[in-house]
Amino acid sequence: MLALSATSEIVCESPRNVFALPLPARRDDMSAPLTEQLAQSSPSVYTAREDLFLEGDESSHILEVVEGVICAYRLLPDGHRHVVSFYFAGDLIGYCSQSTHTFSAQALTKVRVRRIPRHLLNQLIETRPQFARRLLKLAADELTVTREHMLCLAAKSAEARMAVFLLALSRRNRDTGADQSRIELPMTRVDIGDYLGLTIETVSRTFSKLKRAGVIALPRTTTVLIRDAAELEALAQG
Amino acid sequence: MLALSATSEIVCESPRNVFALPLPARRDDMSAPLTEQLAQSSPSVYTAREDLFLEGDESSHILEVVEGVICAYRLLPDGHRHVVSFYFAGDLIGYCSQSTHTFSAQALTKVRVRRIPRHLLNQLIETRPQFARRLLKLAADELTVTREHMLCLAAKSAEARMAVFLLALSRRNRDTGADQSRIELPMTRVDIGDYLGLTIETVSRTFSKLKRAGVIALPRTTTVLIRDAAELEALAQG
DNA sequence: CGGCAACTTGAAGGAAATCAACGTTAGTGG
DNA sequence: CCACTAACGTTGATTTCCTTCAAGTTGCCG
């Protein structure tokens, strides 16, 4: 029921790629009363392209994604948009942020989230030091993943960035038991571009290039089939 | 004596720029016995360009920078180097990372650091929930700062990145009571380039361009004088 | 079937990388 | 103190990759 306690243990020690974070929850390692308190809050539902919150909003709750995909983004004064991260089922959003949100969050698909009041989180930290350590581990892992993405933006070509991106989605599939070689993209080309620091044209062209090279196939615009994972890994290196 | 407890309160609520993190410590808000335990460890000293640790090394301690500047970096298979962050006096390194370091750390100047054993940190988390919350806050702030830098790399021009970088250093000066308009660069052009995702040539050219425009002056290669802070702010926007 | 949004593709332009040469500074030893 | 050297920094010319601008095309939903 509650992912908080479980996820941190499943996370790999040194995540190499983005989206390498959480997995489905176990419920046996939390104190029962608190688990129930957290579980009480019934999931909120959002439809595609609906904003869950905006940058600057009061963040009295943290969110656990139960179903669907969420896009965290920021709008810049010059009109640019930057996608900070994508969050999938099992992920936590805003669990360690300021008193106001530092980014906006938009549903990419139909989304169900569980809202956990921050004061309850603080209460858990007070009473269960184990819990605090796990939360710290989660924060540390998100930091590592963010740095990995930063490195990607600082030092890699469009092709390499796309390869890293696709491999991250592929690994996420593997970790959730889905087909590694078949990726359903819940996000548009604009979302991908804003995430990778590229224009939609470059994203599209790079997809075409990878397709021409036989590395991937694109039966539909939202479906990527990985044909040559080894080559994709090589391209991801740079 | 110990920065851990104090820094988190001084950190601004939503840091807008890198290097906006910690400030000198206060000691009054920690339980005395533990403070003393932490203070016992006498600072280690490193000379310029000496590595404190390498990526992959066991990280049994976290480091508090007492004096000097440290450069966190990663070496990529393709020979590229990426500078993750710079750490200044008062900053904490590796306080929330994996069991092995996810980046290497090198002294840019003579450096003194206090080494705090991780097990002691865990002990503090167990016994002092306040402490755990503060550590979480520190992690959250570093995440926010990292995301800010990521945005910079993803969406800004060479000129804008340099402007953001210089303003961050300027703000750090202000926060430590030093001259806002006079920046002593402890890092080389290579370090700056690897941090901003630019080549040394571009870094150098951008410095020259800013100088020509009267935005900054460069009496020496390691000294930047900010002549037109407003214009620099404008350039930082993009 | 029409209309619109998302995506693709092509051509031209620009920002930064690369390649190459020259200056400058700091550190060393005569 | 000065000459020498090597690392660091600057500047210029050229190339490359990605962006921008501009049409098309596809696919979805009424």
Q: Are strands B223-226 and B216-220 parallel, antiparallel or unpaired?
A: antiparallel
Of A125, A146, A196, which has the smallest distance from its Cβ to B143's Cβ?
Answer: A146
For A198, phi then psi, to 5°, come to -130, 165
Calpha distance A131→A65 (Å, rounded): 19
Whether B39 shows a pLDDT value over 60: the answer reads: no
For A2, phi then psi, to 5°, come to -110, 130
User: What is the rounded average pLDDT of the residues A120-141?
Assistant: 88
A163 CA, C11 C1': Å apart: 27
Question: What's the confidence (pLDDT) of residue B173?
Answer: 97
Whether A26 shows a pLDDT value over 80: the answer reads: no
Helix (H, G, I), strand (E, B), or coil: what is residue A82? strand
Look at A38-52, A181-195, B217-231 and tell me which has the smallest mean pLDDT. A38-52
Strand order in the sheet with A44-46: A44-46, A111-117, A61-67, A92-93
Helix (H, G, I), strand (E, B), or coil: what is residue B12? coil
**Sign of the CA dihedral running A158, A161, A167, A168:** negative
Indicate yes or no: CB of B136 within 8 angstroms of CB of A96. yes
Query: Contact at 8 Å (CB) between B138 and B7?
Result: yes
Whether A19 shows a pLDDT value over 60: the answer reads: no
A208 CA, C8 C1': Å apart: 9
Of A13, A74, A98, which has the smallest distance from its Cβ to B98's Cβ?
Answer: A13
> Which residues in chain B are closer than 8 Å to A102, comparing Cβ atoms?
14, 144, 147
Query: Contact at 8 Å (CB) between B114 and B63?
Result: yes
Question: What's the confidence (pLDDT) of residue B133?
Answer: 87
A190 CA, C7 C1': Å apart: 10
Strand segments, DSSP code E, in chain B are: 44-46, 51-53, 61-67, 70-75, 81-87, 92-93, 104-107, 111-117, 182-184, 216-220, 223-226
Rounded to the nearest angstrom, the minimum Cα separation between A85 and chain B is: 10
> Which residues in chain A are closer than 8 Å to B78, comparing Cβ atoms?
237-238
- Interface test mutation site (partner A, options B13, B86, B98, max chain A beta carbons within 10 A): B98
Whether A101 shows a pLDDT value over 90: the answer reads: yes
B189 CA, D8 C1': Å apart: 8
Structural Rg of chain B based on CA atoms: 18
Helix or strand run (H / E) with residue A216 = strand A216-220
| Whole-Å CA distances, A216 to A121, A166, A209, A232 | 43, 10, 9, 8
pTM for this prediction = 0.89
Calpha distance A214→B232 (Å, rounded): 47
Question: What is the residue-averaged pLDDT of chain B?
Answer: 85
Query: Contact at 8 Å (CB) between A226 and A213?
Result: no
The DSSP bridge partners found for residue B92 are B64
Nearest in space to B154 (alpha carbons), one of B238, B227, B35 = B238
**Nucleotide closest to B161 measured between CA and C1':** C16
* Binding residues for strand D (Cβ < 7 Å): A 157-159, 197-199, 201-202, 205, 220-221; B 188-190, 200-201, 203-205, 207-208, 218, 221-222
Determine the residue type at A97: S
Interface of A with B (CB under 8 A): 13-14, 74, 76-78, 80, 82, 84, 96-100, 102-103, 122, 125-127, 129, 132-133, 135-137, 139-144, 146-147, 149-151, 153-155, 196-197, 237-238
A44 CA, D15 C1': Å apart: 54
Rounded to the nearest angstrom, the minimum Cα separation between A190 and chain B is: 14
Tokens 């206060």 found at = B26
Question: What's the confidence (pLDDT) of residue A38?
Answer: 61
Query: Contact at 8 Å (CB) between A150 and A18?
Result: no
Helix (H, G, I), strand (E, B), or coil: what is residue A179? coil
> Which residues in chain A are closer than 8 Å to B127, comparing Cβ atoms?
129
Q: How confident is the model at residue B73 (pLDDT cuts 50, 70, 90)?
A: very high
Closest protein residue to C17 using CA and C1' atoms?
A: B199
Q: How confident is the model at residue B33 (pLDDT cuts 50, 70, 90)?
A: very low
Question: What's the confidence (pLDDT) of residue A31?
Answer: 35
For residue B218, say whether its CB is under 7 Å from any atom of strand C.
Answer: no
Q: What is the pLDDT of residues A45-99, one digit of tens each?
A: 999 999 999 999 999 999 999 999 999 999 999 999 999 999 999 999 987 667 8
Query: Contact at 8 Å (CB) between B167 and B236?
Result: yes
Of B74, B125, B139, which has the smallest distance from its Cβ to A143's Cβ?
Answer: B139
**Nucleotide closest to B49 measured between CA and C1':** D7
Whether A25 shows a pLDDT value over 70: the answer reads: no
Question: What's the confidence (pLDDT) of residue A99?
Answer: 86
Whether A123 shows a pLDDT value over 60: the answer reads: yes
Query: Contact at 8 Å (CB) between B92 and A165?
Result: no
Calpha distance B134→B125 (Å, rounded): 10
Of B127, B139, B151, which has the smallest distance from its Cβ to A139's Cβ?
Answer: B139
Q: How confident is the model at residue A130 (pLDDT cuts 50, 70, 90)?
A: confident
Q: What is the pLDDT of residues B111-169, one digit of tens each?
A: 999 999 988 888 888 888 888 888 888 899 999 999 999 999 999 999 999 999 999 99
Question: What is the residue-averaged pLDDT of chain A?
Answer: 85
| Whole-Å CA distances, A103 to A21, A86, B160, B197 | 19, 12, 21, 23
Nearest in space to B221 (alpha carbons), one of B203, B195, B194 = B203
Rounded to the nearest angstrom, the minimum Cα separation between A227 and chain B is: 24
Nearest in space to A53 (alpha carbons), one of A108, A116, A100 = A100
Indicate yes or no: CB of B147 within 8 angstroms of CB of A84. yes
For residue B194, say whether its CB is under 7 Å from any atom of strand C.
Answer: no
Calpha distance A139→A121 (Å, rounded): 14
With CA atoms as reference, the chain B residue closest to A8 would be B98
Strand order in the sheet with B61-67: B44-46, B111-117, B61-67, B92-93
Q: What is the pLDDT of residues A207-230, one digit of tens each?
A: 999 999 999 999 999 999 999 999
Beta-carbon neighbour count of residue B43 at 10 Å?
A: 14
